């Protein structure tokens, strides 16, 4: 059995760990509020922008390479969005397992599946499987910005328009709540436009555009694509902070339970030691009397 000193050291060490996990939970909670607000603010703009694109495309019979589906999909580019750091529960493992299963399920359907990793944990996971990405982008939680999303979006558009890939998909954690995230696989390119808001209404589609609808569509499609990439990054960051906050809360609760058990053990050992000493004293006193 461990000595009183060893148990005392374990209690102190666990209390220090508990303080760290509580601090990390508070930091993640503050970052989560900021990330949630960011997502909430961009949603109305994203919905309106996509609606305008759908209206113009439908009423003016406008098409664009970014909206045109390929007849056969042979080459696929997967963008895997994870975090750079751990201590966030199953946040990263869920994405990595999903992407790994996607490869297993579709390796016979496609001729080639390539990767771009956004986040260190995804790159490290597939590196162990001898899979190297075209590019590894890190420091997402610190450097997330519309500028970064624009840079990534430009590279993806370039890959798609050059004909290197027939489809580009994004695997990431969609933010539901502070305690809930959902792994989704979303098709980034070609861009899927929802039905126009003019359908089923009496609004006339006869409209005059300046500049031409083709130019407007091209500009809006790129803005929309940049926004969708930025939204996905924001969703992932919010999900990471939510997962880390939950993980740190569970760790703090486990530390509390461990401290209670160690304290109980400490008291039992101390009581046993006191009882033994008293027994020895009484036995010694009785032997002196005899």
CA–CA distance, 122 with 83 (Å, rounded to integer): 8
Tally of CB atoms within 10 A around 252? 19
Rounded distance between C-alpha atoms, residue 226 and residue 166, angstroms? 19
For residue 176, give the 3-state DSSP assignment: strand
Task: Determine the longest span between alpha carbons in the chain, in angstroms.
Answer: 119
Give phi and psi for 63, each to the nearest 5: -120, 165
Question: How big is the CA angle at 101 (ends 157 and 138), to the nearest 5 degrees?
Answer: 50
Residue bearing tokens 């406008």: 62
Long-range CB contact pairs, 176-180, < 8 A, 24+: 177/242, 178/32, 178/242, 178/245, 178/246, 179/242, 179/246, 180/242
- Beta strands 180-189; 167-177: pairing state: antiparallel
Strands (E) in the chain, as ranges, are: 75-81, 112-118, 135-137, 167-177, 180-189
CA distances from 36 to 30, 242, 249, 277 (A): 10, 10, 19, 61
Q: Name the residues annotated as catalytic.
A: 88
């Amino acid at each position: 059995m461990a000595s009183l000193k060893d148990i005392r050291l374990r209690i102190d060490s666990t209390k220090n760990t508990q303080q760290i996990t509580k601090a990390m939970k508070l930091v993640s909670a503050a970052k989560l509020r900021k990330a949630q607000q960011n997502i909430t603010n961009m949603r109305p703009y994203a919905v309106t922008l996509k609606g305008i694109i759908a209206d113009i495309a439908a009423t003016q019979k406008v098409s664009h390479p970014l909206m045109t589906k390929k007849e056969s999909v042979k080459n696929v580019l997967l963008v895997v969005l994870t975090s750079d750091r751990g201590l966030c529960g199953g946040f990263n493992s869920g994405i990595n397992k999903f992407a790994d299963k996607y490869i297993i399920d579709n390796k016979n359907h496609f001729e080639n599946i390539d990767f771009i990793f956004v986040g260190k944990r995804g790159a490290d996971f597939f590196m162990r499987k001898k899979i190297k990405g075209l590019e590894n982008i890190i420091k997402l939680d610190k450097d997330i910005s519309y500028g970064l999303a624009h840079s990534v979006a430009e590279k993806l558009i370039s890959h798609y328009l050059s004909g290197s890939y027939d489809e580009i998909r994004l695997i990431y954690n969609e933010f539901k709540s502070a305690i809930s995230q959902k792994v989704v696989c979303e098709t980034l390119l070609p861009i899927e436009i929802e039905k126009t808001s003019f359908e089923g209404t009496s609004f006339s589609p006869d409209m005059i555009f300046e500049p031409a609808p083709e130019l407007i569509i091209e500009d809006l499609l790129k803005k929309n694509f940049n926004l969708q990439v930025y939204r996905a990054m924001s969703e992932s960051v919010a999900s990471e902070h939510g997962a880390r906050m939950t993980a740190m809360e569970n760790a703090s609760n486990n530390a509390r339970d461990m401290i209670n058990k160690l304290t109980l053990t400490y008291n039992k050992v101390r009581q046993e030691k006191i009882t033994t000493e008293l027994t020895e004293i009484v036995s010694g006193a009785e032997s002196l009397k005899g």
